Structure 1
């Protein structure tokens, strides 16, 4: 394109500049296009092939997009992008602090994020599958109100988490208790049980089903805590695992609904074991295991009373009648242990320490005004 001489010095008007730019762009576009077909008869065929290629390319892009979205969904469900705890490490929230020891006084509660461990626990228990199967069964297509369905779901979650925790304790060996997986799973199971139980109790509908689930949890864990290994060579190792189960009961006892029932069950079992030891030969192979069981149960009563009695009493739904029942049960257990004092005076020493803590805490005005006279007479008589 020739440029006039009077405009060769660069004083081009805007219209001419635009025309030149358009011409250059069109020229470059034409250079990039494939050569035209040799015959006009093949134009329709080429158009069909180009359309097929275009749709194949779009289908491939859509498939890649779907695969990418599936991967993103899997990452979001697994929480991999937030998983700061490797699978093999121990729980990071100090759940097993003070294992087998009294809690320090005035200890402040430290709240730590446990979202990742909680997601792992929920996946392990497979609550979603159990809930889906229940919906596909009796609840599907029924006229049950939404509120009752929600309560049924919470009940199913409580039952599933209780079964998971008990099975974990029953199938784990003493050595596995030291590993991170046991600590992670057991911790999250305890937290989930307490959260679900509080949600159910907040509805005000405490029925026999909840009572049955909680009682089953206590009985099965106490049985696992007291059952020793066969053979004296593994007794010390198994005692270590007993402390882990004791600690789980101790943590579950932070809720007054569970804690008071644990004390009642433990106190009644102390009386039974004490009577059995009274008529047992000290050289019997089962004697050391029963002795260990008796000690660890007395210690658990002391932990629960020392840790939680005052906080329980501050709860609005604190059951004062249940309190009186297990207080009387503790004194019955103490009387049963008096008969063993000639064999082992440590039993009475430990039990007197429990009774001392109980009397000191229940001697406060808030309790004295609520307790019946016969219960007070046992405490201060």
Structure 2
């Protein structure tokens, strides 16, 4: 019996057929694949939850989180190590789609009210990217024109996204060398319309405080947009021309006229905006490829002309001239620090350093 039992035990491994061994190997392989697939599904579910949470946060609390940092340094000079333009990688695909959807809805309502059949394009070829830029500029200007409470989280959220989208679009167009006359016209229109909005006078004492706050918020938007040289330089040109116009109007205006305080406030905020843009970006502008030196010379000449207009107001208020002298001194200082800016028109440089 013991011999028989030993033979049976020794013969058991040899009794397993090749097909049984293959079957066990396949089972192990499929179990491993099933485990890998399960882990992949879990990972994808986790990614989906994160994506949905991100969309929810942008939809529900994006305004609060946006306001807390986008309008930081409102009306204040920033230290040199804190200079930044847009928020870089903040403008994700989720925000881009959400913003374009909002622009499309607003454009659709506008077309209906005007009876227009013009279509808003949202794809990625050159003409349609330009149309997106135009629509986003209209969206931002309309948002600023209808602002009632600058501290509203909704205004902060949408204005932040509009600025990021415009800067991102300009950078993409510039990288492809597609700054056409149409794009330049859109940029010029953006600068002119926002500066005009910033200086618009509101009637009524009850609106004065909110109007002043709105002025500083629009100024901050222009300051953020100015990180892109083609926008910032045009803003300075428009602002300097506006200063000359207001100085001329103020020269012949009765000091007791009801519009005098509003013009005074506009002059201050315009000169301050030039100071912000020059202090924040002039050196970085001069280092960019394709820096528009002709535009630089044009706005420097315009600023010098504006100073002459403000000097005529010295008997009424010498602060305008003093403030403008400080800004021109800042420009001269920064030009002296940049080798590329010293190669400009000698006549412009001579007038600047006089």
Question: 2:297 maps to which residue?
Answer: 324
Q: Do the aligned partners of 1:90 and 1:181 also contact (CA within 8 Å) in 2?
A: no
Q: Do the aligned partners of 2:244 and 2:305 also contact (CA within 8 Å) in 1?
A: yes
Deviations 1:294-327, CA, capped at 9 Å, x for gaps: 1110000000000000000110010111111100
Instruction: Rate the CA distance shift 1:92–1:179 in 2: closer, same or farther, 3 A.
Output: closer
Aligned-partner Cα distance in 2 for 1:373–1:309 = 19
Q: Do the aligned partners of 1:270 and 1:297 also contact (CA within 8 Å) in 2?
A: yes
CA RMSD of aligned residues (A): 3.1
Counterparts of residues 302-313 of structure 1 (less than 5 Å): 302-313=275-286
Per the normalisation by structure 2, the TM-score is 0.76
Deviations 1:148-207, CA, capped at 9 Å, x for gaps: 97101110110110011011111121x2x1011100100010010111112122222322
Aligned-partner Cα distance in 2 for 1:169–1:128 = 14
Instruction: Rate the CA distance shift 1:221–1:137 in 2: closer, same or farther, 3 A.
Output: closer
Gaps in structure 1 of 5+ consecutive residues: 1-75, 141-147
Aligned-partner Cα distance in 2 for 1:191–1:211 = 18
Instruction: Rate the CA distance shift 1:239–1:149 in 2: closer, same or farther, 3 A.
Output: closer
Instruction: State the 1:348 CA deviation.
Output: 1.2
Aligned-partner Cα distance in 2 for 1:224–1:244 = 11
**Whose RCO is larger (CA < 8 A, sep 6+)?**
2
Question: 2:178 maps to which residue?
Answer: 205
Instruction: State the 1:93 CA deviation.
Output: 6.8
Deviations 1:336-368, CA, capped at 9 Å, x for gaps: 000011111111121111111101001135145
Task: Report whether the alignment pairs 1:359 with 2:332.
Answer: yes
Given the alignment, which residue of 133, 140, 143 partners 1:165? 140
Deviations 1:255-281, CA, capped at 9 Å, x for gaps: 000000000010011001000000000
Instruction: State the 1:234 CA deviation.
Output: 2.4
Query: Max radius of gyration: which structure?
Result: 1
Instruction: State the 1:230 CA deviation.
Output: 0.1
Q: Do the aligned partners of 1:228 and 1:239 also contact (CA within 8 Å) in 2?
A: no
Counterparts of residues 155-234 of structure 1 (less than 5 Å): 155-173=130-148, 175=149, 177-234=150-207
Instruction: State the 1:220 CA deviation.
Output: 1.1
Given the alignment, which residue of 335, 343, 352 partners 1:370? 343
Greater fraction helix: 2
Moved over 6 A (4+): 127-130, 136-140
Instruction: Rate the CA distance shift 1:139–1:183 in 2: closer, same or farther, 3 A.
Output: closer
Aligned-partner Cα distance in 1 for 2:88–2:185 = 31
SS state of the match for residue 178, structure 1? coil
SS state of the match for residue 254, structure 1? coil
Aligned-partner Cα distance in 2 for 1:326–1:216 = 17
Aligned-partner Cα distance in 2 for 1:128–1:274 = 37
SS state of the match for residue 232, structure 2? helix
Instruction: State the 1:216 CA deviation.
Output: 1.2
| Equivalenced residues, count | 295
Gaps in structure 2 of 5+ consecutive residues: 1-47, 112-116
Aligned-partner Cα distance in 2 for 1:235–1:149 = 43
Question: 2:8 maps to which residue?
Answer: none
Instruction: Rate the CA distance shift 1:335–1:91 in 2: closer, same or farther, 3 A.
Output: same
Question: 2:256 maps to which residue?
Answer: 283
Task: Report whether the alignment pairs 1:122 with 2:100.
Answer: yes
Aligned-partner Cα distance in 1 for 2:295–2:347 = 15
Given the alignment, which residue of 41, 66, 82 partners 1:91? 66
Instruction: Rate the CA distance shift 1:180–1:119 in 2: closer, same or farther, 3 A.
Output: farther
Instruction: Rate the CA distance shift 1:126–1:243 in 2: closer, same or farther, 3 A.
Output: same
Instruction: Rate the CA distance shift 1:183–1:276 in 2: closer, same or farther, 3 A.
Output: same
Aligned-partner Cα distance in 2 for 1:369–1:89 = 44
Per the normalisation by structure 1, the TM-score is 0.71
Instruction: State the 1:123 CA deviation.
Output: 2.1
Task: Report whether the alignment pairs 1:297 with 2:270.
Answer: yes
Instruction: Rate the CA distance shift 1:194–1:298 in 2: closer, same or farther, 3 A.
Output: same
Q: Do the aligned partners of 2:240 and 2:302 also contact (CA within 8 Å) in 1?
A: yes
Q: Do the aligned partners of 2:271 and 2:324 also contact (CA within 8 Å) in 1?
A: yes
Given the alignment, which residue of 209, 219, 236 partners 1:263? 236
